[in-house]
Amino acid sequence: MESSPSKIFWTTMRIADNNEPIPKKLRRLLLTAGFGELDLERKFVAIKMHFGEGGNLAYLRPNYAKVLVDLVKEAGGRPFLTDCNTLYPGRRKNALEHLDLAYEHGFSPFSTGCQILIGDGLSGSDEALVPVVGGEYIKEAKIGRAVMDADVFISLNHFKGHIETGFGGALKNIGMGCGSRAGKMEMHSATHPKVKEDVCIGCRKCARFCGSDAISYPRRKAQIDPQTCVGCGHCIAACPVDAIYSAFDEENEIVGAKIAEYAKAVLDGRPHFHVNLVIDVSPLCDCFGASDLPIVPNVGMFASSDPVALDAACVAAVNAQRPNEGSLLAERLRERREHVSDNATDAADSDRSGDEPNDHFKVVNEHSNWIAQLTHAKKIGLGNTDYELIEV
């Protein structure tokens, strides 16, 4: 039997005639969408978001988080903002630098009304092993322990493009974002970490943190045995000169499916709610150290208890927009038109490729396959791709 469409509530970024401030409009959206029905009394409530990478200005302002925090506290809950450390070198690869950057970007107890906890601890190794019911690629997900210790889970997501998965929304923020360093390795890589020998200084710190005794120094440089390595990623965090890195060599479709399975591990068995802000829709993820011109105008704010339908609705909403002049999307579309007009054979090939002409995310990141997240998430019972859009 087919399930009924999930309800997605949304509102534009216009303040209209009543001059209702955006934070109040977001609050009204959340309450209309059923946020107030959550039992939060004396519950630990994880609010998962992205604090932005250094140099990137597309991340969500702390003001949006405060709306959620205030609602949780009014209902007697105990909220905290959370994210997990990154797999790649940068300013979010350990909890101390991660917190420093969050504070620089305006996230603090003073601006949001609650504390920040980095979900997988100081070096990304504090994880809980969580079964994935119905998982095809992942049987036991490695999730940041603080995320799993919460009684209720809420995701606050900046909806934008992504080079691997096409778009980054609720599923990406939950699945990839809540994975520990080992979990991110499992999703991103089909192999083991690599060593840049010209960068390695032979300090042997990586070997001290290796979870499987897989690192040796035959030429005074670190070398990782692929047969012994279990992909825990601890060496990446331990290296003081960023000489060790993940190969990021998994197929994009499988990355999307693994993200869905990790998201299911995070959400199964506890109350959850999700918010997508389709604003500043940059072509690349907030993990990049820069933010490009948004590819479309700001669309609005969306909320639902179904993260799959929520992402599906936001993809459609973005694809319905006209490209921003001067954006990467407009540039790629112009290049396509010029290429087709110059070569009729190429035009026929383009028609046979299966690409929809208004698939903005595919145009911007042509090697991505964004539908993989959604179809696999529906397949494993995480949510629905059919939805009813209700304007607030």
Segment 256-289, tens digit of pLDDT: 999 999 999 999 999 999 999 999 999 999 998 8
CATH T-level assignment (fold) for domain 191-246: Alpha-Beta Plaits (3.30.70)
The yes-or-no verdict on residue 41 having pLDDT over 90 is yes
Q: Which residue has the higher pLDDT, 191 or 172?
A: 172
Amino acid at 346: D
Q: Are 281 and 194 in contact (CB under 8 A)?
A: no
Can you read off the two tokens belonging to residue 6?
Answer: 């999930």
Phi, psi (deg, nearest 5) at residue 174: -80, -55
**Nearest-5° Cα angle at 60, 58 to 63:** 140
The pLDDT, as a whole number, for residue 89 is 78
Give 245's pLDDT tier (boundaries 50, 70, 90).
confident
- A 10 A CB-CB count for 346 gives 13
**Helices in the chain by DSSP H: which ranges?**
22-32, 62-74, 95-104, 109-112, 145-149, 170-178, 181-188, 205-209, 234-238, 252-267, 307-319, 328-342, 344-352, 360-364, 371-379
The pLDDT, as a whole number, for residue 344 is 53
Least confident of 4-8, 72-76, 149-153, 205-209: 205-209
C-alpha distance across the termini of the chain, in Å: 30
Amino acid at 122: L
The yes-or-no verdict on residue 351 having pLDDT over 70 is no
* Strand partners of residue 44: 78
Q: Where in the chain is the domain with CATH 3.30.70.20?
A: 191-246
Which CATH entry fits the domain spanning 6-188+252-391: 3.40.50.11440, 3.30.2290.10, 3.40.50.1580, 3.40.980.10?
A: 3.40.50.11440
The pLDDT, as a whole number, for residue 2 is 60
**Per-residue pLDDT tens for 298-347?**
999 999 999 999 999 999 999 999 999 999 999 999 998 887 776 655 54
- Give me the sign of the Cα torsion angle 84, 152, 316, 327: negative
The yes-or-no verdict on residue 356 having pLDDT over 60 is no
User: What is the percent of the chain where pLDDT is above 90?
Assistant: 78
Q: Where in the chain is the domain with CATH 3.40.50.11440?
A: 6-188+252-391
Give 357's pLDDT tier (boundaries 50, 70, 90).
low
Amino acid at 342: D
Can you read off the two tokens belonging to residue 108?
Answer: 């603090």
Distance CA 52, CA 41 (A): 30
Amino acid at 377: A
Q: What is the mean pLDDT of residues 78-89?
A: 93
Instruction: Print burial letters for 203-229: b (CB count within 10 Å at least 16), e (below 16).
Output: eebbbebbebebbeeeeebbebeeeeb
DSSP structural state of residue 335: H
The yes-or-no verdict on residue 354 having pLDDT over 70 is no
User: What is the percent of the chain where pLDDT is above 70?
Assistant: 95
**Per-residue pLDDT tens for 51-68?**
999 999 999 999 999 999
The pLDDT, as a whole number, for residue 355 is 45
Q: Which residue has the higher pLDDT, 42 or 288?
A: 42
Supply the mean pLDDT for the chain.
92
Distance CA 156, CA 278 (A): 11
Distance CA 329, CA 334 (A): 9
Q: What is the mean pLDDT of residues 147-167?
A: 96
